[in-house]
Amino acid sequence: MDSKDGDDHAAAQANRPATGQRATPQTTRLDLNRIRSAIPKIALVFRNTPQYACPALGEALDCEIILKLETANPVRCFKARGAETVMARLAEKPGSRSAVCASAGNLGLSLAWSGRSRGISVTVVAGASASPLKLDRIRALGATVRIVDGDIEDARQLARQLADTEGAFLVEDSENIDTCEGAGTIGIELIEDMGPVDAVVLALGGGAMATGVGHVFKCLAPEVEIVCVQPKGAPAMALSWRAKSVVETDRTDTIADGVAGRRPIPAVLSDLLAVADHVPLVEEESIIAGMRMLYRHAGLVVEPSAALGVAAMLEDRSRYRGKRVVTIICGGNVVPADFERWVIKPDGE
Amino acid sequence: MDSKDGDDHAAAQANRPATGQRATPQTTRLDLNRIRSAIPKIALVFRNTPQYACPALGEALDCEIILKLETANPVRCFKARGAETVMARLAEKPGSRSAVCASAGNLGLSLAWSGRSRGISVTVVAGASASPLKLDRIRALGATVRIVDGDIEDARQLARQLADTEGAFLVEDSENIDTCEGAGTIGIELIEDMGPVDAVVLALGGGAMATGVGHVFKCLAPEVEIVCVQPKGAPAMALSWRAKSVVETDRTDTIADGVAGRRPIPAVLSDLLAVADHVPLVEEESIIAGMRMLYRHAGLVVEPSAALGVAAMLEDRSRYRGKRVVTIICGGNVVPADFERWVIKPDGE
C-alpha cells in the first residue's frame, strides 16, 4: 500500500484500525458474524466459487492476478449471494410472501431465482434501457417485470411505491444490509483459501459488494488494500467517497450498466468510507481493454462491470507491479452482439 | 434410457449391474476407494468445480442441462485432476524425481503445474501440430518441451523412449490408472451434490475421463446413462468400443485436438466397455454448433473437445428431450483466433 495517494489515504485512515491488527471497522452497519451466518443460507451453487491464479493474465499485467469467478452459476453473477441472504431471512419471517426490487438485470435475475426456489413471488422494476434479454430471463424464472420510463433511479422510486401500496418486501440493493452481507461471503472464501494478498480490486456500483467484501477484509486482513472501481461515466459513489458526503449526478454514460447509479445511499457511503482504501475512476476504453484481456488471456466472457478491476490495473500499472492481486469477476451477463462489438474487433486487432 | 439403441445396449449390458442396484463394475481396473482417496491429493484449486443448471442452454436443447465446469483453474482443463493424482503418488515414492508425458497440450500443462508445485521435473513431448501457445505456457510453468515430427502417437513413442533411457516416470494418459482415477473425482462431486440425473454426456479421447467418471457412476448410480462422444474425424476408441476390440486408424481429422488419438489402449477399452452405455460419433459442424451454443447461451469460451457433449445432444435431440443431463466442460484452451473463426461468424449469423 506504499503507493496509496494522499487523498485516498486521508479518507481511509479516519476509519481504519491500527495497521496489521485484526479489528472491527466499527463504523459500518455490517457484522462479521452475520456474514458468516449468511453462508449456509446461500444455495451451494452460488458458494465456493472458483478462485485461481491466471498466469497468462498476470504476465500481461506484471503481477500475480487471482480471479474470483462469480459467473459460473445459473444467474451468472455474484448478486445471488445477496438475494439468497435476503430471501432466506424473509422466508423465516411471518407475513409477506412477496418481494420487489429495482434492477437493471442482475439483482432481478438473482431475486427471481431465489424467490422461485422459496415460493416467494417477485416483481422486478426496470428502467427503459434494461436489456430485453435479461428481462426475458427474469420472466422465465417466474418473476413479474415492470418497465418504467426512465433509468434505474426511476425504477427504484416505483419499486418503493409498489412496496408501500402492495405490501411487498422492498429489496434495495446495498441499502438492505443482507445484500451487502451476502456479497461479503465472497471475502470469507478469499481469506480462508487464497493465502495472503496485497489488494482486492473490485467493481463499485451501489456498494453492496464493495462494503461486504471490504468489511470482511477490514475485520480479518486489514493490511489488504481494498480498491473500489467506478467508470468515469457513472462516478456518483466515487465522487461521494472523495467528498465524504453524497454527490448525486444527473446522468450516467457507461457500458457498465451493472454499476450505473446516480444517487448514492448515505448509509452505504458511510460504510464505504470505512472500508475502501482507493476509489479510482476508469475510462470506457479501459473497461473494454479489460474485457478483451479477460477474454484473450483467461478465456472469460464478462460483462463490463466485471472488467472494472482489470481496467483500473491497466490505468495504474505501477501500483500493482509485482503484487498479488485479487479481482472479482462479478458478472457475465452480456449480450453476445455487444461483447463481439466491444471485444472482438473485425480487423482482428 | 428408453431410447438406447440395440447395439449400444448389447455392448453395455454385458458388464452392467442389475438395474438400479449399487454395484462395482468388476471388469474395470479402477477402484472407487482409490478414487475417493485421490480427492485430498488434488490441489483445492482443481476440486469442487462449478456444477449448475443453465436454463438458457436447456431451453435451446429441450432438456435440463447441467454444466460441470472444469475450465476455471490455472490450466483451464480437467486434466490437472489426473496429473495431481499421478504426481502426488509419485512424490510419495522413493527414487524418480522426474516425469515425462506425450501431450497435445492439456496433459502437459497439467503435469507441468503439478511438477512445479511438488519439485518434480517434467518433460512434455508434443507432435509437430501442437499449439505453440500451449507449448509456451507449458514452458512458462518450468517444464521441458520436446517436439517430434509427427502426431500425438509419435510423441507417445518418444516419451516411452525417454522414460527408458532417462529413468523418468512415464505418464501415459488413461493407461496410467491415476489419470483415470483423478478424473473420476468429477463423478464423485456430481453424485454428491447434483441430485439424480438421467445421463452424463462427455468427451471421449484416450478414455481417462470417460472411464473415471463412468466407473464412479456405475458404482454409485448405475441407472445413469454414460454417453461418451468422439468426433467422426477421430473415431478410433468409439469404433473399438463398438467392435469390442481395438481398432486403430491411420489419421485423425478434427478440430478437437484434445481427443484426437489413433491407437486405443486395450486395457482402457476394456474399462470403457464396462462403463459406457452409448458412444456416438459427431460431425465437425456439430462440434462448432455446440461451441457456439455454449458461448451464446452460457457465456463460455470452450475448446472443441468440451463441446462434444452438446454436439451429441444436437445430433440426437429426442434421446435427451425432457431429461436432466450433465455435460462436462472439460477444457477451455482454445486460441482466440480459432475460436473467433469457428464460433463468431463475420456476418453475425
CATH of the domain at B122: 3.40.50.1100
Residues B61, B99, single domain; the answer is no
Give the bridge partners for A126, in sequence order: A147
Q: Cα(B191)–Cα(B195) distance, rounded to whole angstroms?
A: 7
Mean pLDDT across chain A:
91
CB pair distance less than 8 Å for B76 and A300: no
Choosing from B119, B151, B171, the residue where a domain stops is: B171
Residues B68, B93, single domain; the answer is no
CB pair distance less than 8 Å for A72 and B55: no
Q: Cα(A183)–Cα(A179) distance, rounded to whole angstroms?
A: 6
pLDDT score for B12: 42
Q: Cα(A198)–Cα(B322) distance, rounded to whole angstroms?
A: 48
pLDDT in tens, chain B (349 residues): 333 344 444 444 444 433 444 455 558 999 999 999 999 999 999 999 999 999 999 999 999 999 999 999 999 999 999 999 999 999 988 876 899 999 978 999 999 999 999 999 999 999 988 888 889 999 999 999 999 998 888 999 999 999 999 999 999 999 999 999 999 999 999 999 999 999 999 999 999 999 999 999 999 999 999 999 999 999 999 999 999 999 999 999 999 988 988 999 999 999 999 999 999 999 999 999 999 999 999 999 999 999 999 999 999 999 999 999 999 999 999 999 999 999 997 554 4
Which member of A51, A56, A299 has the closest CB to residue B301? A299
Residues A155, A221, single domain; the answer is no
Residues B204, B139, single domain; the answer is no
Residues B221, B257, single domain; the answer is yes
Of A152-156, A192-196, B245-249, the range with the lowest mean pLDDT is A152-156
Confidence check: pLDDT of A327 > 90? yes
Q: How confident is the model at residue A10 (pLDDT cuts 50, 70, 90)?
A: very low
pTM assigned to the model = 0.92
Q: Which residues of A190-206 are buried (b: 16+ CB within 10 A; e: fewer)?
A: bbeebeebbbbbbbbbb
Contact in structure between A342 and A329 (CB atoms under 8 Å)? no
Residue B257 lies in a domain: yes
pLDDT score for B4: 39
Residue B267 lies in a domain: yes
Residues B147, B263, single domain; the answer is no
Choosing from A171, A194, A209, the residue where a domain stops is: A171
Q: Which of A47, A65, A71, A335 to mutate to test the interface with B (most CBs of B within 10 A)?
A: A71
pLDDT digits (tens, 9 = 90+) for A93-117: 887 689 999 997 899 999 999 999 9
Q: Cα(A74)–Cα(A332) distance, rounded to whole angstroms?
A: 11
Residues B154, B184, single domain; the answer is no
Q: What are residue B291's phi and psi, to 5 degrees?
A: -60, -40
Which member of B45, B72, B295 has the closest CB to residue A72? B72
Q: Into how many domains does chain A fold?
A: 2
Of A88-97, A150-159, A333-342, the range with the lowest mean pLDDT is A88-97
* Chain A residues with beta carbon closer than 8 angstroms to that of B45: 50-52
Residues A263, A208, single domain; the answer is yes
Q: Cα(B348)–Cα(A337) distance, rounded to whole angstroms?
A: 8
Structural domain span for residue A108: 79-171
Residue B349 lies in a domain: no
Segments of A193-288 assigned E as strands: 199-203, 225-231, 281-282
In terms of CA atoms, which chain B residue is nearest residue A58?
A: B74
- Kindly tell me the burial class for residue B93, based on how many C-beta atoms sit within 10 Å of its own C-beta (0-12, 13-18, 19 or more): exposed
Of A75-79, A342-346, B321-325, the range with the lowest mean pLDDT is A342-346
pLDDT score for B134: 86
Residues B90, B189, single domain; the answer is no
pLDDT score for A185: 98
Instruction: Report helix, strand or coil for A302.
Output: coil
Give the three cell numbers for residue B39. 480427492
In terms of CA atoms, which chain B residue is nearest residue A77?
A: B299
* Chain B residues with beta carbon closer than 8 angstroms to that of A54: 74
Q: Select from A89, A246, A116, A260 the least CA-distant residue to A179.
A: A89
Residues A95, A199, single domain; the answer is no
Q: Select from A302, A193, A295 the least CA-distant residue to B45.
A: A193
Q: How distant, in Å, are the alpha carbons of A5, A63, A65, A267, A274 from that of A321?
A: 16, 5, 10, 34, 26
Residue A151 lies in a domain: yes
Choosing from B171, B198, B223, the residue where a domain stops is: B171
